Structure 1
Amino acid sequence: MQQASKISVIVTTYNRPDALAAVIEACFAQDDRHFEIIIADDGSTNNTRNCVEELQRRSPVPLRHVWQEDEGFRAARVRNLGTLAATGDYVIFLDGDCIPARNFVSQHRKLARPGYLVSGSRVLLSPEYTRRLLEQKLDINALGVLERLQLRLAGHFNKFLQTVLVLPDLGRERKRFSWRRIKSCNLAVWRSDLDKVNGFDQSFLGWGHEDSDLVVRLFNAGVLRKDGAFATEVYHLWHKENQRDQESSNRAVVLQRAADRTTRAVAGLQEIS
């Protein structure tokens, strides 16, 4: 079975340097060091730039920073910028408020299989615990089993078993497209498959479903899904939800593309200027 020779972790961020620092620190502590980090910055100010420069000075793996002007929510385009800057043959998209477990990269590497993408899983953190973690710079991956259970019982984690169990790569394949667990905050795709469908479609306006659109087009191109739950967990720091003004219209586009069997983005990797 083909394994990824080099993994690129593309971390999207926007004006939240404390969360970004926590995420990148967890990337530095991975048990697999054969990867690079691309920070894909959707128009943050100098606070984030300064944070990234400090992280670059002590990064144990290659770390690059790509930036675009702040013209509203343009996550699709900045992920494409990150993809173009990446050198790996396997790409993991990770949000800048999602702290990866220590085996995040190694588990994604184990699950990687030609013809499949892997949609990962996340554990939601409460507002109170998010604040405490960032203020005190806590290492969430150093928690013991009992501490994790206590956090779950107190309502600070929305899951427990996923934080302590790793299940084998069995029965993870999904033969049909579904909306369930499509989250680009934790999504792994072969670079060749991204090129095949022209990456994310930056014609999507506002928040919502640009990740679903990518997965629909990949499915139309013959790429199936694997479920990364109980293997590729991230801890999602709490934040206020984005405005969802365009969600309904974006969803309608995705449904139409599923029906039309569309594969290529209208404005994707090849249209970046």
Structure 2
Amino acid sequence: MKISFIVLTYNRTDALLAVLRSLAAQCGEDHEVLVADDGSRPEQVQMLLAQCPVFRCPARHIWHPDVGFTAARARNLGASRATGDYLVFLDGDCVPNKAFVAAHTRLAEKGCFVNGSRVLISQRLTERVVNGAIDLPSRPVWFWLGARLSGGSNKLLHLLPWGRRLFRVKPDFHWHGIRSCNLGVWRADFVDVNGFDETFEGWGHEDADLVLRLHHLGIHRKNGFMGTEVFHLWHRENPRDQESINKKRVLERMKTDVVLADKGLRELDSSPGVKSTVKITPLNGSNSSL
């Protein structure tokens, strides 16, 4: 099984580099990394190209123009260029724990997608991470116990591995805890639902919509707690003006059997300007080839 890791980013290369350093330490020749860039500024892109860690697998940067919050489009672009059998979506401010790749590999199961877990990191600890003063995946148990007690993190689940299938698979649709910042799905299933729906505007619930349509397709949710944790670096919350509208759309779709996104993977090549503006660049230090 070849896994493609699709990492969403936007103007936060210092955090993205922490994510890529962790992936580079874990990924082998049977993996692939695609940075799905939602229109970062030129100086942010140059920082990425100059400081990207060395990968043993192909690694590419896929950029499209900044036209607002279009995370669904960026993720679809990344997925459309992926060659893996299995896709793992990550956010560029979510640093994988040291067993992240192995956990997603172990939990991948036909007929299921994996809803990953996260550990929230405080603003103070985040500053140390992005400044390069600390590498979260390599921190020992005592560090995390101290971070939990001091408010540096909100949980310790990544210290308690649970390799069993028990309690993981949920046959029904559950809204709670769905996050595209850490989600694994078979490429064939992602294609069958036409990917993320780009008609969801602004922040919120395009990931729940994807999961709902996977559920309508007959794909079950498999929770990745105690294994797939990522360390979600602190940031100011994005504007949530569209959240209630997007949530209402998902609630309405729950009453239907809709499987396909209104505007997704199939519409990428027909979107005005896409072919002429998308830039795909091999990342420094990888064995990428276009």
Tell me whether 1:75 sits opposite 2:71 in the alignment: yes
> 2:216 maps to what in 1?
220
Aligned 8 A contact 1:13 1:20 in 2: yes
Describe the superposition over 1:80-123 as per-residue Cα deviations: whole angstroms up to 9, x where unpaired: 00000100010000000000012111110100001000000000
Aligned-pair Cα RMSD in Å:
1.3
Superposed, 1:1-273 pairs within 5 Å as 5-30=1-26, 34-55=30-51, 58-160=54-156, 162-171=157-166, 172-273=168-269
User: Number of residues paired by the alignment?
Assistant: 268
Displacement of 1:57 in angstroms is: 7.1
TM-score by length of 1: 0.95
Give 1:177 shift: 0.3
- Encode CA deviations 1:176-215: one digit per residue, 9 max, x unaligned: 1011110000000000001110000001100000000000
CA deviations on 1:26-56 (whole Å, 9 max, x unpaired) are 1011175531100000000112321332355
How many Å apart are 1:60 and its aligned residue?
Answer: 2.2
Q: Is the 8 A contact 1:42 1:78 kept in 2?
A: yes
For 1:173, give the aligned amino acid.
V
Moved over 3 A (4+): none
Deviations for 1:54-90, whole angstroms, at most 9, x for unmatched residues?
Answer: 3557322210111111011000011000000100010
Partner amino acid, structure 2, of 1:80: N
Structure 2: runs of 5 or more not aligned: 270-290
5+ residue gaps in structure 1? none
| CA 33–51 in structure 1, closer or farther in 2 if over 3 Å, else same | farther
Percent identical among aligned pairs is: 47
Which secondary structure state, in structure 2, belongs to the residue aligned with residue 15 of structure 1?
coil
Does the 8 A contact of 1:11 with 1:38 survive in 2?
Answer: yes
Are 1:52 and 1:65, in contact at CA under 8 Å, matched by a contact in 2?
Answer: no
What's the secondary structure of 1:149's corresponding residue?
Answer: helix
Secondary structure, counterpart of 1:12 in structure 2 = strand
Distance change >3 Å, CA 272–CA 96, structure 1 → 2: same
